[in-house]
Amino acid sequence: MLRKSDGFEGIIGNSLRMQKLFSIIERVADDGESTVLIHGESGTGKELVARAVHSRSPRREKNFVPVNCAAIPDDLLESELFGYVKGAFTGATQNKMGRIQYAAGGTLFLDEIGDMKPSLQAKLLRVIQEKEYEPVGGVKPVPVNVRIVAATHRNLEQLVAEGKFREDLYYRLSVIPINIPPLRERKDDIILLLDSFIRVFNRGKRYGLKGFTERALNALVNYPWPGNVRELENLVQRLVVLHGGESVDLEDLPAKYAAHAVQPGTADRRKEEQLDNLAPIALHEALWNGDGINFNDLVDGLERQLISQALARTGGNKKEAARLLNLKRTTLIEKIKKKELETGIGLPQASCA
Ligand SMILES: Nc1ncnc2c1ncn2[C@@H]1O[C@H](COP(=O)(O)OP(=O)(O)OP(=O)(O)O)[C@@H](O)[C@H]1O
């Protein structure tokens, strides 16, 4: 069973980076007004984060309106966003409400904001600064109260430097920047995500996917996931269809994933790498904010993750998990009880053959 700490508003993750992200979302949502700029590679969950900001905010009773600026042709985007008045152009036989108006009182999510053309950037700036806009063909400004949450996978600062994005809009948008780390920088979340999507895609299936062998899991954890969580989600969906009723072994994975299998003899090197990696993870600068850190929570979170991952790798076998963790079995059992992990262990037996 997934525990509350394994995710937030449908965003799965319990790595330290994600825990930090969840607490930022909570603060930002409480504020309810400031403009937010979410940065992250494709498939990292930018829309999920934007939805979480909305549904935790005082605006939650009003609409959350997503607009993908890259998916709508430039000439249509203006009337989509701002609406138009009757007679504005041939074919405008009646007034049409724009998505900004539809989001009034709520949140307008502008995905791929880096693709917005300069004339629209100017109109958007007016919405943020003056809280008003003019529909296409309109002469009277219309007041609107909307929170703008924008997202991009591009480097907006660089676009500003290249003269492709308005500097004043950039500063207005990035009042609160939120950065979503790519999956390869939070590998601790991979097993949790696999488990979570297996549950989702197994639902209602006669023969659900049983899980992964340790060899397969190792390859997936090593893989760099350029398409991030979306790619992982798609892979699990495909495996559920192709291997329902079985466990997925290394040979069952598509070649590009299987190519990341751990070669025999590299285990010791990996252990050393893990030790080397531990310090930067634990001391990551992003953890620190003005109020300092919550030492006990962070240490507890790290222990929970290590225990859940060891249990996942051993199909819930505590003796084996204790061996992987180099802990006494009794110490591990004590920790599991103390942390109430007994019924909520990361993966069910079935998820890791
Ligand atoms: N942490 C997560 N937990 C659960 N599902 C996730 C997570 N991150 C992303 N997803 C899922 O991955 C898919 C892509 O997420 P989303 O559309 O929010 O990403 P995005 O960063 O906005 O991508 P793009 O930039 O390509 O639009 C969705 O199906 C979403 O539900």
Q: Which of 48, 51, 153 to mutate to test the pocket of ligand 1 (most atoms within 8 A of CB)?
A: 48
Spatial separation of the C-alpha atoms in residues 237 and 198, rounded to whole Å: 8
Model confidence band, residue 353 (pLDDT cutoffs 50, 70, 90): very low
CA of 46 from ligand 1 middle (Å) equals 6
CA of 198 from ligand 1 middle (Å) equals 16
Cα–Cα nearest to 136, from 66, 86, 197, 101: 86
- Average pLDDT rounded to a whole number, residues 49-78: 95
Q: Whose CA is nearest to atom 5 of ligand 1?
A: 11
**What residues line ligand 1, using a CB cutoff of 6 Å?**
11-13, 40, 42-48, 111, 153, 229-230, 233
Q: How much is the CA Rg of the chain, to the nearest whole Å?
A: 24
Q: Whose CA is nearest to atom 18 of ligand 1?
A: 45
Q: Which of 19, 230, 231, 233 to mutate to test the pocket of ligand 1 (most atoms within 8 A of CB)?
A: 230
CA of 77 from ligand 1 middle (Å) equals 23
Residue 265 has pLDDT above 80, yes or no: no
Spatial separation of the C-alpha atoms in residues 353 and 346, rounded to whole Å: 14
**What confidence score (pLDDT) does residue 180 get?**
97
**What confidence score (pLDDT) does residue 343 get?**
33
Name the least confident of 13-17, 177-181, 326-330, 348-352: 348-352
Residue 121 has pLDDT above 90, yes or no: yes
User: Which ligand 1 atom lies nearest to the CA of residue 18?
Assistant: 1
CB-CB contact of 37 with 46 (8 Å): no
Residue 297 has pLDDT above 80, yes or no: no
- Checking ipTM against 0.95, whether it exceeds it is yes
- Between 248 and 293, the higher pLDDT residue: 248
Spatial separation of the C-alpha atoms in residues 209 and 240, rounded to whole Å: 5
Q: What is the CATH number of domain 183-351?
A: 1.10.8.60
Helix axes 329-338, 318-325, angle to 10 degrees: 100
The mean pLDDT value of the chain amounts to 86
Domains in the chain: boundaries: 4-179, 183-351
Q: For residue 27, give the amino acid letter.
A: R
Over pLDDT 70: what percentage of the chain?
Answer: 86
Residue 352 has pLDDT above 90, yes or no: no
- Between 290 and 122, the higher pLDDT residue: 122
Over pLDDT 90: what percentage of the chain?
Answer: 63
User: Which ligand 1 atom lies nearest to the CA of residue 40?
Assistant: 21
**What confidence score (pLDDT) does residue 5 get?**
58
CA of 44 from ligand 1 middle (Å) equals 5
Equal fold, 4-179 vs 183-351: no
Spatial separation of the C-alpha atoms in residues 344 and 283, rounded to whole Å: 28
CA of 89 from ligand 1 middle (Å) equals 37
**What confidence score (pLDDT) does residue 336 get?**
85
Question: What tokens appear for 33 in the block?
Answer: 């007004």
Unique residue bearing structure tokens 């994005």: 165
Residue 2 has pLDDT above 70, yes or no: no
CA of 71 from ligand 1 middle (Å) equals 16
CA of 282 from ligand 1 middle (Å) equals 26
Spatial separation of the C-alpha atoms in residues 181 and 185, rounded to whole Å: 6
User: Which one is the CATH code of 4-179: 3.30.1360.120, 3.40.250.10, 3.40.50.300, 3.30.2130.30?
Assistant: 3.40.50.300
Q: Which of 47, 156, 201 to mutate to test the pocket of ligand 1 (most atoms within 8 A of CB)?
A: 47
